[in-house]
Amino acid sequence: MRVKSQESRVKSKDKRYIKEKAKKIKLLILDVDGVMTDGSIILDNEGNELKRFHVRDGHGIKMLQKAEIKVAIITGRISKVVDVRASELGITDVHQKIFKKSAVYEALLLKYKCRDENVAFMGDDIVDVELLKRAGLAAVPADADGETKKYATLIMTKNGGRGAVREFTDLILKATGLWEKVSGEFLG
């Protein structure tokens, strides 16, 4: 079943299906390029790589962590910028230059005593399909590769690097009933 995340357009049956899946999530795994960023790779004259991250995506990650949901990164590229951003967000499971993501995925399952149904994953391209197929809750940004979208449970309304991660984290927090716990200090 493929469900778009636009709450006003999701049928009540589909909302229940997503809520049941989200209740089991203990670990969020994210790809970077095209998910946490818009997929652009910017190089300066010195060969330094630059990436642009959305601040609200980062806040969504922090709220998940506050709700005691672990967050990990698995990406095929290697970049110092990813280490810096992950450190800012308190993400300690950062796996770069990983071409076969399933091996790291398996290690994370063991580390956090999870099963597939306890994992939420967001990817955006065909290299992510294997994990999209396995994760209990699989999402892609709105601008993900068309073929890859076929394997997602959720297609976000936001693009990669433009709020898609936050949309996914909010959905998980609200579906699990943890939203009030982590947003209360901000909403009063």
Tell me the mean pLDDT in the region 77-99.
96
What are the angstrom distances between the C-alpha of 89 and each of 65, 73, 102?
Answer: 9, 11, 24
| pLDDT-based confidence at residue 184 (cuts at 50, 70, 90) | confident
pLDDT at 12 over 50: no
Q: What SS3 state is found at 63?
A: helix
Instruction: Judge whether 115 and 22 are in contact, CB under 8 Å.
Output: no
pLDDT at 111 over 50: yes
Q: What is the pLDDT of residues 19-70, one digit of tens each?
A: 899 999 999 999 999 999 999 999 999 998 999 999 999 999 999 999 999 9
Which residues make beta-bridge pairs with 44? none
Counts for the chain of helices (H) and strands (E), in that order? 8, 9
Q: Among the CATH numbers 3.40.50.2300, 2.60.40.10, 3.40.50.1000, 3.40.30.10, which is that of 3-183?
A: 3.40.50.1000
Instruction: Judge whether 164 and 158 are in contact, CB under 8 Å.
Output: yes
CA distance 164 to 54: 9
Tell me the mean pLDDT in the region 100-126.
97
Tell me the mean pLDDT in the region 106-113.
98
